[in-house]
Amino acid sequence: MPFEILEKQELVPTIYLMKISAPRVAKKAQPGQFVILRINEKGERIPLTIADFDREEGTITMIFQTVGKTTAHLASLRAGDELLNFIGPLGNPAHIQKEGTVVLVGGGVGVAPIFPQTRAFYEAGNRVISIIGARSANLLLWEDRMRAVSHELYITTDDGTKGHHGFVTDIVKRLLEDGVNIDRVVAIGPPVMMRAVAGVTRPFNVKTIVSLNSIMVDGTGMCGACRVLVGNETKFACVDGSEFDAHLVDFTLLMNRLAVYQPEEKIALERYKCEREGCLC
């Protein structure tokens, strides 16, 4: 059964929003889960975290960045086009309960998957402090949405074009050093950012959760491609996660594994561009 694209937007350069008609997935979706999609019979399977869901509409919203062949192909589709496969929800839901003060940190495209968790923690009665960051102001995502479900919202940009001139970790460190009683930190974004957040919170012994975006194939724990090292134990991000204790994650191994197929990814993207432009490669 094909899955129709109901809406497609370019939110900021290279980052797109897609709303997909998938009633059965929407019915079961929870914050922290993901889907695996395939565009057509010749396409690869890629995981994308659920950025939002609407049970009444029967829709799933995804936000993705064009980094390789499949995301470039996905970005070329329009409302009315269809996806061949759209499987989910996969992974374990985020652990949401009333804890007190929760700090949610989103970096770059990671703001999208942090949003449903922010909303859920807010609705559960927590004091929610949100921190979102990007390289520049024109790359910031969902500021209004995050503000609507946060008691406090901090913005950081690497170049200082909006908010704090620096990194999300600067704000996390400031809050901790100012004595804010934080019960939990959740961080989603590039691995280097999540590792930095873990490094800041570790000396303060604050529970910190990260969502790992390791390479996946089947998303059901059978292939083992998404294995990560957590507390010196091998875990599968698709079925054991995708959320883990940040203070136990081996981020160096994670980043090394994410880089394994970069040469092949570059070749595939160049071939795809050639095919679309009709050039000889």
As annotated, the binding site for [2Fe-2S] cluster includes 223, 226, 238
Numbered residues of the known binding site: 63-65, 223, 226, 238
d(CA 275, CA 279): 7
d(CA 52, CA 141): 14
| Cβ atoms of 117 and 124 closer than 8 Å | no
d(CA 131, CA 154): 5
* CB burial string 144-170: b at 16+ within 10 A, e below: ebbeebbeebbbbbeeeebbbeebbbb
| 227-230 and 233-236 strand pairing | antiparallel
Report how far apart, in Å, the C-alpha atoms of 84 and of each of 2, 37, 39, 143, 237 are. Answer: 5, 8, 5, 32, 24
- In sequence order, what are the residues at sequence separation of 6 or more whose Cβ sits closer than 8 angstroms to the Cβ of residue 145? 115
d(CA 50, CA 135): 23
Numbered residues of the known binding site for FAD: 63-65
Strand residues in the chain grouped as ranges (E): 3-12, 15-21, 34-38, 46-54, 59-65, 82-83, 85-90, 101-107, 127-134, 152-157, 164-165, 184-188, 208-211, 227-230, 233-236, 243-245
